Structure 1
Amino acid sequence: MTQHPPSRDRIAALVVTHQRLAKLQPTVTRLLAEDLDAIVVFDNASDDGTVEWLRGLDDPRLHVIAHDRNTGGAGGFDMGLRDIVERLDPDWVLISDDDGRPMPGAVAAFRDMDRDGWDAVGAAVLTPEGQVCEMNRPYRNPFWRLPEFLRTLRAGRRGFHLDDAAYDSDAGTIAVDMASFVGLFLSRRAIRQGGYPDRRLFIYGDDQLYTLRLRRRGLRIGFAPAIRYEHDTTSIAAGTLRLTPIWKVYYMYRNALLAYRVAAGPWFWPLLPLLAVKWRRIAPRYGDESATFRRLLGIAMRDGLRGRLDRTHPEVIAIASGTSPREAESGRSG
């Protein structure tokens, strides 16, 4: 009896970019060197030569979606995933920002791992210096898991985020409840049952809300430390949790509040005053922009509590800069 080799999973990569050609170029170069069947770049209305550079590359696997306005990372992931599913229908989609790129052999490590029982798989995301990238550290929701809850009471954030030992490349795959959109492999089943990211979030928190939603629907997310990713981020100033440019504060805290509401459930309202105090204490890190931080934080919390997701990006820029929304619309919006 003739035995046929197992079928090879088809993997497409999705990268969302806006106005960062210098960051995107090494990312696309790395992806083209990996064992991928398709690479889709969703461009959010860049005018820095991004589309021209992409269309000048000679690789049939590369597809470019040139959108006519900036919809943020969330909009790009939503529309880009929809396009990939409709046109390509791969077994898995690897998603990332334009400054997140696979280390050599990352896709091979994914292909070699035992994926049985996993609906999504997150990579170990490191800085270019080889340290754990804090903004991409996965976690196990302490409001769903008693051991993590008890550890969080003692250790705060360290109690529910994976520790450095989990990043040992020889460690096994670990079940998590949240994984970031940098080096995340989504199965066809995950997308079919979990739907698409919420484009209204613009940036930040779309990965938390999406992966928490996957978990609430019974889908399993694994953290695979053998799959290594690099995140060359400049959004957070070195050594601090200070967002630059400052308009990002609005999205960070509005969307974080929405994520806390999903994660904490009935514990959300007792937790809210603690969050408010903790976040307001961050203001001095912003120096001369402390007043702007407080203004953005206040509006972000009000919108988050109301579930308001219709504030436009020009409005957010106007709040941060003190200009009118029309003036912000006509200028560069990051």
Structure 2
Amino acid sequence: MSMKTCAVVVTYNRLELLKECLAALLNQSASVAHVVVVNNNSDDGTTEYLNQLNDDRLIIHNSTKNLGGAGGFSFGLDKAVSSTDDDYFWLMDDDTIVDQYCNQALLDKAKKLNDQFGFLAANVRWTDGTPSNVPIPTADWPMRITEGLVEISVSTFVAFFVSRANVVKVGLPLAEFFIWQDDVEYCLRVGKLGPSYLVDQAIAVHKSASKPGTFLVQNDVLARVPRYYYQFRNNMYITRHYHGGKAVRKMVRVNLIDTIRVFIKAKNHRFKRASTEFRGTIKGLTFEPKVKFVNKN
């Protein structure tokens, strides 16, 4: 019996990229059974475009508010599990363009592993062909490299592939994260169920405006500074829950020192940039969202 994949795409005001993302998904060599699209209250024509699409594989939700990336993935994955009987769920942002054979490569490795894995990740490149969204390898990363598998501990929601059984066991991504680090936390949670792997033949291109990791609160454009609050808050939550008290104390110390550095060295709006890091760090010490579980097995 063939196994079925349901993609989950979260989009916000990137209509042209969304069109490219959906075209790539709907033209896979191993067809996807469904695509759940969560539209985070876009105002660039995305709603109108989605409403005129005529494909039975599409399950579209036009949200009346911006749920953030984390909220979108949590809602979308819940919708995917409860609305389909598909075996695997494939999470990605609207700027993820998967290769035509990407789903087939992931399905082949899932079968080879007999579903005994936490999650699978695509081999992601940026627009210039260089590696992007590079996963964190484990100490045993070379063990199955001759099989096209690199063991990893953390990846991102850029062509992230997980089984229905594992979603049912661990629940949904934490919607309260809003943006950033929700994928890291989910990887750590799902990864407890078994080894996870990057699949070398599962190619995807991440068409982000800038290469991930190239901007920091100190030098990013002012309009993006407020979102760093979520990064520092969510990182602190992850450290508390997965790395222990010693790591928490170290992170607090490092972040407070970095707050001073940002205040001194930022080229403009120094107080806003530094206070964003400080407030996020402190809030992360008590931030405690609860894991929600899917509505249907």
Q: Same fold (TM over 0.5)?
A: yes
Say yes or no: does 1:33 pair with 2:33.
Answer: no
**Which of 192, 208, 212 lines up with 2:188 in the alignment?**
212
Q: CA deviation at 1:175?
A: 2.3
Kindly indicate whether the alpha-carbon contact (under 8 Å) linking 1:209 and 1:262 is maintained by their aligned counterparts in 2: no
User: Partner amino acid for 1:54?
Assistant: L
Say yes or no: does 1:259 pair with 2:231.
Answer: no
Match of 2:131 in 1: 132
Q: CA deviation at 1:140?
A: 4.4
Match of 1:9 in 2: 3
Find the residue that maps to 2:136 and give its secondary structure.
coil
Distance 1:215 1:267, change over 3 A: farther
1:1-334 equivalences under 5 Å are: 7-34=1-28, 35-113=31-109, 114-116=112-114, 117-133=116-132, 136-140=133-137, 172-216=148-192, 218-234=193-209, 239-241=214-216, 242-244=219-221, 245-272=224-251, 273-278=253-258, 281=261, 286-307=266-287
Q: CA deviation at 1:102?
A: 0.7
Distance 1:24 1:289, change over 3 A: farther
Kindly indicate whether the alpha-carbon contact (under 8 Å) linking 2:255 and 2:278 is maintained by their aligned counterparts in 1: no
Q: CA deviation at 1:277?
A: 2.6
Q: CA deviation at 1:174?
A: 2.3
Task: Identify the structure with the greater helix proportion.
Answer: 1
User: Partner amino acid for 2:125?
Assistant: L
User: Partner amino acid for 2:113?
Assistant: R
Where structure 1 has 5 or more consecutive residues not aligned to the other structure, the ranges are 1-6, 142-146, 149-161, 311-334
Kindly indicate whether the alpha-carbon contact (under 8 Å) linking 2:102 and 2:202 is maintained by their aligned counterparts in 1: yes
Using the size of structure 2 for normalisation, the TM-score is 0.84
Find the residue that maps to 2:13 and give its secondary structure.
coil
Q: Deviations over 1:181-204 (max 9, x none)?
A: 111111011101110011110000
Kindly indicate whether the alpha-carbon contact (under 8 Å) linking 1:44 and 1:66 is maintained by their aligned counterparts in 2: yes
Distance 1:28 1:284, change over 3 A: farther
Q: CA deviation at 1:8?
A: 0.6
Q: CA deviation at 1:22?
A: 2.4
Kindly indicate whether the alpha-carbon contact (under 8 Å) linking 1:171 and 1:225 is maintained by their aligned counterparts in 2: no
Using the size of structure 1 for normalisation, the TM-score is 0.76
Find the residue that maps to 2:66 and give its secondary structure.
coil
User: Partner amino acid for 1:192?
Assistant: V
Percent identical residues: 26
Q: CA deviation at 1:103?
A: 2.0
Q: CA deviation at 1:230?
A: 1.1
User: Partner amino acid for 1:228?
Assistant: I
Kindly indicate whether the alpha-carbon contact (under 8 Å) linking 1:237 and 1:243 is maintained by their aligned counterparts in 2: no
User: Partner amino acid for 1:232?
Assistant: K
Q: Deviations over 1:263-317 (max 9, x none)?
A: 322332342213433465456775213321101111101111121669xxxxxxx
Counterparts of 1:17 and 1:285, CA distance in 2: 34
Counterparts of 1:77 and 1:27, CA distance in 2: 16
User: Partner amino acid for 2:88?
Assistant: W
Kindly indicate whether the alpha-carbon contact (under 8 Å) linking 1:190 and 1:219 is maintained by their aligned counterparts in 2: no
Distance 1:294 1:90, change over 3 A: same
Find the residue that maps to 2:270 and give its secondary structure.
helix
Q: CA deviation at 1:132?
A: 1.1
Kindly indicate whether the alpha-carbon contact (under 8 Å) linking 1:236 and 1:243 is maintained by their aligned counterparts in 2: no
Find the residue that maps to 1:306 and give its secondary structure.
coil
Which stretches of structure 1, 4 residues or longer, exceed 3 Å deviation after superposition?
235-244, 278-286
Counterparts of 1:125 and 1:282, CA distance in 2: 31
Distance 1:225 1:270, change over 3 A: same
